[in-house]
Amino acid sequence: MRFIAKSVVVTGGASGMGEAVAKRLAREGASVLVADFNEAGGTRVVSEITAAGGTALFQHTDVSDPSSAQAMVDAAVTNFGKLDLAANVAGIGQGHALVQETELELWQRVNGVNSSGLFFSLRAEIPALLAAGGGAIVNVASLAGLQTFKSLNAYVASKHAAVGLTKNAALENKNIRVNGIAPGAVLTPMLGNLSQEEVDGYAASVPSGRLGTPQDIANVVAFLLSEEASFVNGAVIPVDGGLLVA
């Protein structure tokens, strides 16, 4: 129970990796604010956490809107008395398109959530953590923040921005550890349109021989937020089954 008496916001907490993170932190004693645009999913996650004996509440949040990101943090402080931790998991993908074929609306939407949305979240979270005496933040980026992927230009740009924001936030803020993780292919709703053959093909390219699960991501997020990682700061850790070095 590493997070007793700790409060945390989890963006993107209504499904996939964010849901797994929210439930993992709640199981370890944290009071969790589940922040997401998906009200039905967020409400379900909160109900499941509370039914298991945890403490959680849902806040309808659009991280691409700075006022909504601030309201998320304000709700956590109002309901829990402080904010100790944050897990910024919210993110969206994109279809394949070369740079010259990428629609402006797609570019703005992907970067609005993955890049600006992370900035707005950090901008709201950091003062609250400082007011509580410090804490820890984990940002979920992607392998696309560490390397290139042809025809995923908006996504790659947004995740490179997430990596840079993570490192700069760590540099700037004493008493707040800011780390990131870079997941590889993870079985989440974002991969829901893939056939089993496509899933198997991806898995064959991973040295570990399988795709990741949301629980794999939640395990590393929980470690980085805990005092066990007290000397880890400004790191962006691949969680990819070895795909980056394959």
Taking the C-alpha atoms of residue 72 and residue 127, their distance in angstroms, rounded to an integer, is 13
Active site residue: 155, 178, 188, 221, which one? 155
Please tell me the number of Cα atoms within 13 Å of 78 on its side-chain side: 8
* DSSP sequence for 126-158: HHHHHHTT-EEEEEE--GGGTS--TTBHHHHHH
CA 131, 132, 133, 137 torsion-angle sign: negative
In the annotation, is 155 catalytic?
A: yes
Taking the C-alpha atoms of residue 57 and residue 35, their distance in angstroms, rounded to an integer, is 9
Whole-angstrom Cα Rg for the chain: 17
Which residue is it, tokens 């996939």? 16
Taking the C-alpha atoms of residue 74 and residue 33, their distance in angstroms, rounded to an integer, is 11
Taking the C-alpha atoms of residue 3 and residue 72, their distance in angstroms, rounded to an integer, is 20
Count of C-beta atoms within a 10 Å radius of residue 76: 27
Taking the C-alpha atoms of residue 226 and residue 232, their distance in angstroms, rounded to an integer, is 10
Torsion, CA 61, CA 107, CA 87, CA 25, rounded to 10: 80
Taking the C-alpha atoms of residue 162 and residue 113, their distance in angstroms, rounded to an integer, is 11
Active-site residues: which are they? 155
